[in-house]
Structure 1
Amino acid sequence: MEKVLEFGSSRVKPDVRRLSDMREVIYDIEWLKGAPDMELYYMYRDLAVSKGDRSIILDHRLRYDITVIPPNRLGAEYVKTAGHYHPFVEGTSYTYPEVYEVLRGTAHYLLQKCEGGRITDVVMIEAKEGDKAIIPPGYGHVTINPSNRELKMANWVSRDFSSIYEPYKKCGGAAYFELADGRLIRNGRCDHIPDIRFLKPTNIAKLGLSKGKEMYGLVRDVEKLAYLNRPQDYGWLWEAALSDKNRAVR
């Protein structure tokens, strides 16, 4: 079923992610054998409320998207996104970051860093309505909807790259699977997986990422999103986002 999003004066059709697009990253292989193909989530890309906003967004090489993930189960695990990494910013040792906002529901952002072919850090951020979550350079990420409510989230990201999905497919999914019974199960196809660090959302007011204030409004203060195209200039931000001082209780 196609879901149209009303955004500003536009009616936007989604890109639809189906189960058949994600067969390689599903935990419950036995369930998958008999599962019918189904729509899992909806991606509304490159949004703008007005022509003026679109001009600003394009001039600053940015993109604003919305994703809707209805509640569902993939056999034993919660519904999730396929998972992807970002490429390097040309001429730097930094990959492109991203920032998410939960508009409705609850999200578990599962981040992982891969160095030399090994996963060296795994982070989970639980974000609720109004929370922001930054994906720092070097980290791939999966979004999980761990509830019986629809998850609606927005993101700002550079428009200068395409996401990389192959590492998640090659490894059979993320470093961990979150099951519907609450367990987090290590992915047996990945070697030497570290324990998960649980961190709080990255609501950073000086970047316009205040809890409860929709970040689309940054189109009016767009320089606060400069880190999305120039991550090499924001070492302090990545340190803050990943610090154990930002640890969540679980």
Structure 2
Amino acid sequence: MISLEKSGLPLYLNEKNHVMALSALLEYESYKRKYVEDMKGLLEDEKKLNPKEPFYDVYRGIDYPHDRERFRTYEIRYDVTVIMPGTVNGECKKTSGHYHGWNPQKTKTYAEVYEVLLGTALYVLQKSRNIGATGQVSDTVVDDLILVIVHAGQTLIVPPGYGHASVNVGDGPMVFSNLAYIPCPVLYDTVRYFHGMGCYVNKDAEGLHLKRNENYAGLPRVKYATVREDAELGIRFGVPVYKSFQKQPELFRFLAQPEQYSDEVMSLLDYHDSLSEAIGKGGIS
């Protein structure tokens, strides 16, 4: 069993089947596994698929009973996702990708916190100012496209306005947690309409290769980034976000109030000239 110690919780991953085990003290609300057949329509190459090949698992609403009231008060949920190792026709396994809905004032869409617990993640972020504006997903225009490398022990705040998908670019399983604002609508239709996010991430013996998704018209130039800390938003690398929320839940008020924190969240992205530079000397784990 692999200890997911960066979570600060008694979570363990079975090395053979990549199923997560929780201490008896922890509980979760639901579990779901997605297979290759569930990802059809989102992959670059869908020839000769094994429909029952596991893709990723999601464990929702993990908490200790004594923390439950705190999570409910702030309307926040702690989840863990396990993306399986390997590729499908050369494409790295990933989550399906989605956008977030608007706040009541219709000024910003909601943010989300992603903390990598094991492996290396590449997050595809794409901004669409007109998301949901016309009611027609075909009208979506991508204004900004950012690939963010996040290593184990680091945390990304997905900025308001950005759709996102998580990609496992390592050789083993990739595990990440998230803090999500429960009232936030989650919108999948746009990504599925365009057969995925704006960029596909492929991998072979020579490394990672990117391919633009030509189903989108007029995609902008791809940017590359890594992440920065912000203690005022509860983000300190090496300090589990569960523990941060447990001690100071008020720091995560930005999840419910995206319009007040959008610029600060965007400032946590550190831009680089290339993907290899973003990956850095530490490489991919």
1:22 is matched with: 39
Taking the aligned partners of 1:131 and 1:90, their CA distance within structure 2 comes to 31
Q: Partner of 1:57: helix, strand, or coil?
A: helix
Cα distance between partner residues in 2 of 1:136 and 1:225: 14
Q: CA deviation at 1:10?
A: 3.3
Residue in 1 that maps onto 2:3? none
Residue 206 of structure 1: how far off its partner (Å)? 2.4
Do the aligned partners of residues 177 and 39 (structure 1) sit closer, same or farther apart at CA in structure 2, a change above 3 Å counting?
Answer: same
> 5+ unaligned residues in a row in structure 2: which ranges?
1-16, 131-139, 279-285
1:206 maps to: 232
Deviation at 1:162, TM superposition (A): 3.5
Which of these residues, 180, 187, 198, is aligned with residue 175 of structure 1? Answer: 198
Deviation larger for 35-44 or 81-90: 35-44
Q: CA shift at 1:194, angstroms?
A: 1.1
| Aligned position for 1:235 | 262
How far residue 92 of structure 1 moved from its aligned partner, in angstroms, is: 3.2
Match of residue 81 from structure 1 = 95
Secondary structure at the counterpart of residue 34 of structure 2: strand
Deviations 1:81-131 (A, max 9, x none): 100011001123111100111111110011001234211100111111100
Partner of residue 177 from structure 2, selected from 131, 141, 154: 154
SS in 2 for 1:44: strand
Structure 1: 5+ residue runs without aligned partners? none
* Contact kept? 1:98, 1:156, Cα under 8 Å: yes
Q: 1:5-154 maps to which residues of 2 (within 5 A)?
A: 5-7=21-23, 9-10=25-26, 12=28, 14-32=31-49, 35-49=50-64, 51-116=65-130, 117-154=140-177
Amino acid in structure 2 at the alignment position of 1:26: L
User: Is residue 43–residue 66 contact of structure 1 (8 Å, CA) maintained in 2?
Assistant: yes
The 1-side partners of 2:266 and 2:55 are apart by: 34
Q: How big is each residue's C-alpha offset from its partner over 1:42-77, in whole Å with a ceiling of 9 and x where there is no partner?
A: 10111112x221100001111111111121211121
Identity across aligned pairs (percent)? 27
Contact 2:125-2:163 within 8 A present in 1 as well: yes
Q: Post-superposition shift, 1:209? A: 0.9
* C-alpha distance 233-11 of structure 1, shift in aligned 2 (>3 A): closer
In the alignment, the residues of structure 1 paired with residue 26 and residue 86 of structure 2 have an alpha-carbon distance, to the nearest angstrom, of: 28
What's the C-alpha RMSD, in Å, of the aligned pairs? 1.8
What is the CA-CA distance between 1:238 and the residue it aligns to? 3.0
Q: Do the aligned partners of 2:123 and 2:149 also contact (CA within 8 Å) in 1?
A: yes
Count of matched residue positions in the alignment of Structure 1 and Structure 2:
244
Cα deviation code 1:115-163 (max 9, x no counterpart): 3421110011111110001101110001000111111111111011331
Question: Separation in 1 of the partners of 2:195 and 2:260?
Answer: 34
* Residue 198 (structure 1) shift: 0.8
CA offset digits 1:7-62 (Å, max 9, x no partner):
56136562111211110101013243xx332221110111112x221100001111
Match of 1:183, SS?
Answer: strand
When the two structures are superposed, what TM-score results if normalisation uses the length of structure 2?
0.81
Q: Give the deviation of 1:226 after TM superposition.
A: 0.2
1:7 touches 1:47 (CA, 8 Å); kept in 2? no
- SS of 1:47's partner is coil
